[in-house]
Amino acid sequence: MIEILTSGLMNSVQDLGRTGLLNQGIGRGGAMDRKALVIANRLVGNADDLAGIEVSIFPFRLRVEQEVLVAVTGCDCDVSVNGRGLPPWWATTLPAGGELRLAPPRRGARAYIALAGGIDCPQVQGSRATDLKSGFGGLRGAALMRGDRLALMSTLNAVQPRQSAGHGADPNYFRDGFGGQTGCDAQTIRIMIGAEYEAFSEEAKAALNRSDFVVSSENNRQGMRLEGPVLTLTNRLELHSHGIMPGTIQVPPSGQAVIQLAEANTCGGYPKIAHVIEADHWKLAQAPSGSKLRFEIITRSAAIAAERLERQKLARLGNLMPLALNAQSGAG
């Protein structure tokens, strides 16, 4: 059992979300930084889709009743177990009664906590993810609060650390840093042009590919508003509502771009100027308010290659985990 000691609005139970339900008006949801959650799960020997905790409001503290292997990935923040600091993206044993603490991030915006066995919440439409927008899934369909208690599923086959100090992954191998940082150079976000791209003015197209955009304070798990050049249409465009997905960049009448995120609406009527490629969704998840983004238009084949590279890196991490299992069983 896990007890939440310190938390804040937006911290929630998340897994990889719900698929195949867009026709029912139910979006994918799930972790904002899906790859960070997958890596945390693999570090503790979980299946990729088991539920962990997404932390976006800091500091965050929890305590466990039984000994369990825990890993923290995502943003660059100080992590400690009973006051002892841990390296980034590290798995270690949290002893019975032990306390895990996450301090506010230096870089990035969200951290992911995986515990061996995964968090045991009721499945809703095939997922344990909390849909904060609609209020279902996770624990009560809401953010985690002080005093909340979460159960763990079976830890019978849990991985043990390969060394007494634990084991980890190199975040710099899996990504270019930890994500955005206010006051620093813009983070490059790769995009593909959208269905209504040609309806925008030449000035808007040039700005999209050459200008910096600032992440507004008006952003959450549903969407991210950007502050920057006004993206104008050549003519007024009337559209019926149509399907949209996480990563879709829409432009409302204000001309200020909005990026759909994990809890994106399933349909919308604003023109779509571009789409953030899947391999760069983590950069959006780790971009705090005030940080800068710069877009780079790439081809479909380049987007596929980028995602293939991400999967190859994750496969290498998966290949390492049997070593930890062997260490547990005493195999050579």
Q: Pick from 126, 121, 122: which is nearest to 21 by CA?
A: 126
Check whether 162 has a pLDDT greater than 70: no
If DSSP codes are grouped into helix, strand and coil, which group holds residue 283?
Answer: helix
Cα distances (Å, whole numbers) of residue 204 to 150, 193, 201, 228: 48, 13, 5, 11
Q: Is residue 328 part of a domain?
A: no
Q: Which H or E run contains 316?
A: helix 300-329
Condensed to tens digits (0 to 9), the pLDDT of residues 265-306 reads 888 889 999 999 999 999 999 999 999 999 999 999 999 999
The pLDDT value given to residue 166: 83
Q: What residue numbers bound the domain in which 227 lies?
A: 187-298
Contact 263, 222 (CB under 8 A): yes
pLDDT reading at 317 higher than 90: no
Q: Does 51 reside within a domain? A: yes
In the chain, how many domains are there?
2
- Residue 312 inside a domain? The answer is no
> Do 93 and 238 lie in a common domain?
no
Identify whether the C-beta of residue 247 lies closer than 8 Å to the C-beta of residue 281. yes
In a shared domain, residues 19 and 79: yes
Does residue 326 surpass a pLDDT of 50?
Answer: no
Whole-number pLDDT of residue 325: 45
- Residues 142 and 204 placed together within one structural domain of the fold: no
- Residue 307 resides in a domain: no
DSSP 32-86: SSHHHHHHHHHHTT--TTS-EEEE-SSSEEEEESS-EEEEEEEEE--EEETTEEE
Domain end point (choices 120, 153, 178): 178
3-61 pLDDT, tens per residue? 999 998 899 999 999 988 887 878 889 999 999 999 999 999 899 999 999 999 999 99
- Please, are residues 262 and 17 in contact by the beta-carbon 8 Å criterion? yes
- Cβ neighbours of 287 (radius 10 Å): 27
Q: What is the pTM of this model?
A: 0.92
Q: CA 261, CA 243: separation in Å to the nearest integer?
A: 14
Residue 71 sits in the same domain as residue 113: yes
